[in-house]
Amino acid sequence: MSVVEERIERLADLAREAARSGESDLARRYVQRARRLAERNRTDLPRRLKRFSCDRCDAYLVPGRTARVRTRSGHVVVTCDCGEHARYPYGSG
């Protein structure tokens, strides 16, 4: 894992911790920082960060707290507080 990837992983950890303790603005800033790092270095975001962050508002999504999660016909649908939906095939990753 590269230094950049390690930094992104660290930011993902910080975002999750902040979101879990209710610091959603702080969590959003970590998500934005991780996204910028990934873009600048042309690297992919870790899958967990892709999945647990909102494409529209950059919120870190905590199921049951900042996001609603439903399972529907083979898909997991995650709904952010801002109204954005994300769908994932059930059971992947």
**Chain residues in the site for Zn ion (CB under 5 A):** 54, 56-57, 59, 80, 82, 84
- DSSP readout, 53-92? B-TTT-PBP-BTTTEEEEEETTEEEEEETTS-EEEEETT-
Residue number with CB closer to Zn ion (11 or 54): 54
For residues 54 and 80, the answer to whether their CB atoms sit within 8 Å is: yes
Give the nearest distance from C-beta 91 to Zn ion in angstroms: 24
Give the pair of three-digit tokens for residue 15: 């975002």
Give the nearest distance from C-beta 18 to Zn ion in angstroms: 15
Q: Which amino acid is at 26?
A: L
Residue number with CB closer to Zn ion (14 or 61): 61
Give the nearest distance from C-beta 22 to Zn ion in angstroms: 16
Residue number with CB closer to Zn ion (7 or 29): 29
